[in-house]
Amino acid sequence: MEKDYRPILEALDSFDNFIIAGHQEPDGDCLCSQMALSSFLKRKGKNARLVSAGPFKRPEIRSWEKFFSGTIDDNDLKGKTLGIITDCSSPDRTGSLGDQLKKIPLMVIDHHSSGEMFGDYRFVDSDSPSTTLLVQQLIESSGMELTEEEAEFIFLGFCTDTGFFRHIGSGKPDVFQAVSRLVEAGVSPNATHRVMTGGRTLGSRRLLGRILDRSRLHYEGKLLISWETLEDRKELETEDRDSDSMYQMLQSIGGVESVVIVQEESENTYSVGLRSTFDIDVGSIAKSFGGGGHRKAAGCTLTGSRNEVIQRLIDSFQLLNNS
Considering the complex, what minimum distance in angstroms separates the CB of residue 291 from ligand 5GP? 4
147-206 residues near Mn ion, rule: CB under 5 A: 161
Residues 234-273 that bind ligand 5GP (CB under 6 A): 243, 273
If one asks whether residue 233 binds ligand 5GP (CB under 6 A), the answer comes out as no
CB 23 within 8 A of CB 88: yes
Q: DSSP secondary structure string, 125-182? A: -TTSS-HHHHHHHHHHHTTPPPPHHHHHHHHHHHHHHHTTTTT--SS-HHHHHHHHHH
> What's the CA gap between 174 and 43, in Å, rounded?
26
If binding is defined by CB under 5 A, does position 257 make contact with Mn ion?
Answer: no
Partner that binds at residue 222, options Mn ion, ligand 5GP, none, CB closer than 5 to 8 Å by kind: none
Q: Which residues contact 72 (CB under 8 A, 6 or more apart)?
A: 19, 51, 97, 100, 101
Does 244 participate in binding Mn ion (rule CB under 5 A)? Answer: no
Which is closer to ligand 5GP, CB of 129 or CB of 292? 292
Q: What are phi and psi of 298, to 5 degrees?
A: -155, 175
State in angstroms the smallest separation of the CB of 289 from ligand 5GP.
8
Q: Does residue number 83 form part of the binding site for ligand 5GP (CB under 6 A)?
A: no
298 sits near ligand 5GP (criterion: CB under 6 A) = yes
Nearest approach in angstroms of CB 251 to ligand 5GP is: 13
Specify whether the CB–CB gap between 110 and 131 falls below 8 A: yes
CA 154 – CA 34 distance, rounded (Å):
10
Which residues does 156 contact at the CB level (< 8 Å), separation at least 6?
Answer: 28, 32, 60, 132, 192, 195, 196
| C-alpha to C-alpha distance for 117 and 91, rounded to whole angstroms | 9
29 binds Mn ion (CB under 5 A): yes
22-61 residues in contact with ligand 5GP (CB under 6 A) are 23
Question: Could you say whether residue 25 binds Mn ion (CB under 5 A)?
Answer: no
Among 64, 107, 291, 309, the residue binding ligand 5GP under the rule CB under 6 A is 291
> Nearest to residue 270, comparing CAs of 228, 311, 239?
228
Shortest distance in whole angstroms from residue 135 CB to ligand 5GP: 16
Provide the minimum distance between the beta carbon of 238 and ligand 5GP in the complex, in angstroms, as a whole number.
17
Stretch 56-95: interaction string toward Mn ion, x if CB under 5 A:
-------------------------------x--------
- Binding interface with ligand 5GP (CB under 6 A): 23, 89-90, 93, 243, 273, 291-294, 297-301
